C-alpha cells in the first residue's frame, strides 16, 4: 500500500512541476527578489550548528557562537578550546608568539621615538645636529635587526663627527648611543 500514490497527491505533484519552457517576465523576477531576501533573512535567524575538530585528538567541539563560516577556521579554533595536552601546548605556543610579536612592535615604536628624539627635530634642543629622515629610517632598521638578533651590534658613522652605536645587552635591552662631541644613550626593553 505504501507504493500506491493517491490520485490527489499525483495531481498536486503535477501542479508543482512547471511547464517548459518557463516564460520569462522581468517584472516577475523583480517582484520575487524581496521574497528571496526575506527567505535568506529567515534562514539566518535559524541557529546554525557549527563544529570544529581538534587536529591533535580528533574531538569535535561545538561552537555555536563562532562568527567563522569556513570549516577550516572552525578547525583552527577547535584546538585552542580543546583540553588535550597537545592542544594546550599548541595554544601556549600561539600565545607566546602573539606576545613576542606585540613586544617587538612595542620595542619598534619605542626605538623609533628614541631615534627621532636623538636625531630628529628635537635634537637641536639638546645641542645636537638633526639627521635626515631616510638616514633615521636606516638607523631604525639596523636597530630592529639587532633587536631580532640578526646582528650582534652595529656602529654607523653618519657624518665625520656623528656616530651611532646599536647593541643589545645581556638583559635583552636594546641600546642606541649617539656619539658626537658628547655621548647620549637610551635603552629600550
Domain that holds residue 159: 104-180
pLDDT of residue 147: 94
Flag whether 157 is in a domain.
yes
- The answer to whether residue 126 sits within a structural domain is yes
**Which pLDDT score is estimated for 6?**
62
152 falls within a domain: yes
Nearest Cα to 176, choosing from 125, 116, 130, 122? 116
Residue 96 maps to a domain = no
Please tell me the distance from the alpha carbon of residue 180 to that of residue 145, in angstroms, as a whole number: 23
Instruction: Say what the pLDDT of residue 146 is.
Output: 96
- Say if 124 falls within a structural domain: yes
**Cα dist from 166 to 15, 50, 130, 155, 178, whole Å:** 83, 51, 18, 6, 9
Q: Which of these, 187, 185, 180, lies nearest to 131 by C-alpha position? A: 180
Separation CA 154–CA 152 (nearest Å): 7
Total domains in the chain come to 1
User: Is residue 170 assigned to a domain?
Assistant: yes
Asked whether residue 159 is domain-assigned, the answer is yes
**Predicted structure pTM score:** 0.61
Kindly state whether residue 28 falls inside one of the protein's structural domains: no
Per-10-residue mean pLDDT of the chain, 189 residues long, equals: 57 60 64 75 70 91 73 86 93 95 95 92 78 93 95 90 90 90 73
**What is the predicted pLDDT for the residue at 19?**
64
Amino acid at each position: 500500500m505504501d507504493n500506491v500514490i493517491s490520485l490527489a497527491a499525483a495531481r498536486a505533484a503535477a501542479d508543482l512541476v512547471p511547464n517548459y519552457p518557463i516564460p520569462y517576465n522581468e517584472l516577475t523576477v523583480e517582484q520575487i527578489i524581496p521574497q528571496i531576501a526575506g527567505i535568506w533573512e529567515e534562514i539566518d535567524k535559524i541557529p546554525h550548528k557549527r563544529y570544529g575538530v581538534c587536529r591533535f585528538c580528533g574531538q569535535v567541539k561545538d561552537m555555536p557562537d563562532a562568527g567563522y563560516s569556513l570549516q577550516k577556521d572552525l578547525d583552527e579554533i577547535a584546538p585552542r578550546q580543546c583540553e588535550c595536552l597537545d592542544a594546550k601546548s599548541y595554544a601556549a605556543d600561539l600565545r607566546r608568539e602573539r606576545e613576542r610579536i606585540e613586544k617587538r612592535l612595542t620595542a619598534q615604536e619605542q626605538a623609533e621615538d628614541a631615534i627621532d628624539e636623538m636625531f630628529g627635530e628635537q635634537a637641536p634642543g639638546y645641542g645636537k645636529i638633526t639627521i635626515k629622515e631616510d638616514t633615521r629610517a636606516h638607523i631604525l632598521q639596523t636597530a630592529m635587526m639587532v633587536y631580532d638578533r640578526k646582528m650582534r651590534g652595529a656602529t654607523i658613522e653618519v657624518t665625520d663627527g656623528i656616530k651611532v652605536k646599536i647593541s643589545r645587552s645581556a638583559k635583552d635591552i636594546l641600546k642606541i648611543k649617539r656619539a658626537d662631541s658628547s655621548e647620549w644613550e637610551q635603552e629600550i626593553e
